[in-house]
Structure 1
Amino acid sequence: MMAPPAATDGQKPSLKVILCSPRGFCAGVVRAIDSVERALALYGAPVYVRHEIVHNRYVVESLKAKGAIFVEELGEIPDTDAPVVFSAHGVPKAVPDDAKSRNFLTFDATCPLVTKVHREAEIHFRRGKEILLIGHAGHPEVVGTLGQLPEGSITLIQTIEDARRYEPKDADNLAYVTQTTLSIDDTAEIADVLRERFPAITIPHKEDICYATTNRQEAVKKVAPLVEAMIVVGAPNSSNSQRLKEVAERSGSKFAALVQRADDIDWAKFGSITSLGVTAGASAPEVLVEEVLDAFAERYHLMVETVAAAEEDVFFPLPRALRPPQAAE
């Protein structure tokens, strides 16, 4: 399947593009990026950031250009008076403890919805419950949640098979929490198995999967059956972006591609389509969506419409120490 060459409008094939709404940045991502930029404005460069502030190469490179230095571990940071920002994904408790021992000036940009999961896990622990975490091994958010409690206090459940095999010490004393960026459907299936096997299990007081993940997946479910192909703008290490691709494939789109930006598009796979859905993960800026649309506009005559699943008006304030004086009161 070959892509049509760029040509004048009269020669371009038509392509119906359906934009998913909402898409792109969520309130937690905006807060995290703003935290780094505010720290740069207040203290100047450099500002150290532990792990990618959000999983998007474009965002990270933009912040690097402004003076942010990204590290994976605090040990990479020299003795310094420069600020250190923790990423939106959250960190194990050992990280701020280490930072305090080294007298670092730190700001925690953990998404408040991730912090909510941390607090839930701590409450279950204080009540003596066995805690299960539905999530993906190695994801920074999962590493951070596991690290809130002593090692071995939380058991990671990644699959339905894990849920079926798990044998608790006391089936009447269980609780589960979840990673915030999972597939709604996958998580529901795993949770259903746990609730069926252990009717007394304590479930999250409010759904742990965040509003942004839910809304973006619902929009994809609406659009995918209407189009031949879907593009998800996002990073390969972004859990919520990967889940959007999976949801698109399950929901009726014949083909779905995850791309970081327009240069990643494999045009041979899109050549003969007449309809396309476009969304973006919660850490992908809208400028990259526009870049993808511009690339398609060079090859097709676009007819663009939007399908909305929800309206979002969520706002998370900056960490208190980074807020302007009037906002911190």
Structure 2
Amino acid sequence: MTDAAKPPLDLLIAAPRGFCAGVDRAIQIVELAIERYGAPVYVRHEIVHNKFVVDSLKAKGAVFVETLDDVPDGVPVVFSAHGVPKAVPAKAASRGLSYLDATCPLVSKVHRQAERLVAAGRHILFVGHAGHPEVIGTFGQVPQGHMTLIETEADAESFVAADPDNLAFLTQTTLSVDDTAAIMAVLQRRFPSIVAPKADDICYATSNRQAAVKAIAAQVQLVLVIGAPNSSNSLRLVEVAEREGTPGKLVQRADDLDWAWLDGVGAVGITAGASAPEVLVRELVDKLATRFTVTEREVETTRESIAFKLPRELWAA
């Protein structure tokens, strides 16, 4: 199709988008571990929820497994950015495995809060999604029975407290800001003395990416979110667009784009979940440019400058 024959398409690209500091750090940890120890380096669970990133690291010598039983003796193992139950590093240590913990520092902060609250005699209501690795990891920081999962407002309404005056709540870091606020409001109405986190548990990157989608959703007819179907923060970005009244579609790669979505559409918003690299954004823009005369505009709602330190064992590398 000649450029003259291509219909116009306005692209509003959300900023911030894509990699957050925790994901950046986790990927660096795997790359530096391969550099320092040589391949293969084993990684328990996907380091981050993005197939492109995982495949790139596999090509460099990373081997991804779901349990430590799949890790042979004498090789280093990395724990994913989502965090792991305490039993996992304990088992690694008992086997004499050297391990590197790539848990996002903001997730680790929630783990420490959970330990302190249980030590203070409080029962924790944890707002999150059942089965998500971050939830499994956080539950694994405290003895069984000291934490209850709350997924919805209905769960918050129906929870029966054995000791209503000794409750606290924490949240998964990758939740919808709006949904979580509604659940917290129910808990605080039902249990006025419930202890809230000192700082918001939902991480800065999740909040920022959701705010950026809100800023563009009203100006476009479709929001495309680059991310994996098992990425909590990416799925929440689709929901944020939908809540603003704009259709949202999740795509892992540009090839997932369905041209039928763009019938009658003159303006499209693009963002990327915290595990999706910028190269995938450019790939999607290039794909759209094959059929449209694209005009690109970045809409920046805030600027991020956070960086997290690498584990001490990798400083030399």
Say if 2:209 is the partner of 1:216: yes
Residue in structure 2 matching 1:114, options 94, 107, 110: 107
Given the two structures, how large is their TM-score scaled by the length of structure 2? 0.99
Say if 2:286 is the partner of 1:294: yes
In structure 1, the partner of 2:259 is 267
Residue in structure 1 matching 2:80, options 78, 87, 99: 87
For 1:155 and 1:123, the matched residues in 2 are separated by 16
Q: CA deviation at 1:25?
A: 0.0
Moved more, 300-309 or 62-71: 300-309
In structure 1, the partner of 2:121 is 128
Task: Tell me the amino acid that sits aligned with residue 14 of structure 2.
Answer: C
Task: Tell me the amino acid that sits aligned with residue 49 of structure 1.
Answer: V
Given the two structures, how large is their TM-score scaled by the length of structure 1? 0.95
Residues 1-329 of structure 1 aligned to structure 2 (within 5 Å):
7-79=1-73, 81-253=74-246, 255-324=247-316
For 1:66 and 1:156, the matched residues in 2 are separated by 38
For 2:261 and 2:226, the matched residues in 1 are separated by 16
Q: CA deviation at 1:272?
A: 2.2
For 1:104 and 1:8, the matched residues in 2 are separated by 59
The count of residues paired between Structure 1 and Structure 2 equals 317
Q: CA deviation at 1:271?
A: 2.7
For 2:124 and 2:248, the matched residues in 1 are separated by 35
For 1:267 and 1:323, the matched residues in 2 are separated by 47
Unaligned segments of structure 1, at least 5 residues: 1-6
Give SS of 1:226's match.
Answer: coil
For 1:144 and 1:272, the matched residues in 2 are separated by 45
Q: CA deviation at 1:82?
A: 1.7
Q: CA deviation at 1:283?
A: 0.2
Unaligned segments of structure 2, at least 5 residues: none
Q: CA RMSD of the aligned region, Å?
A: 0.7
1:276-310 alpha-carbon deviations (Å, 9 max, x no partner)? 00000000000001100000000100111111111
1:84-132 alpha-carbon deviations (Å, 9 max, x no partner)? 0000000000000110011001000000000000011000000000111
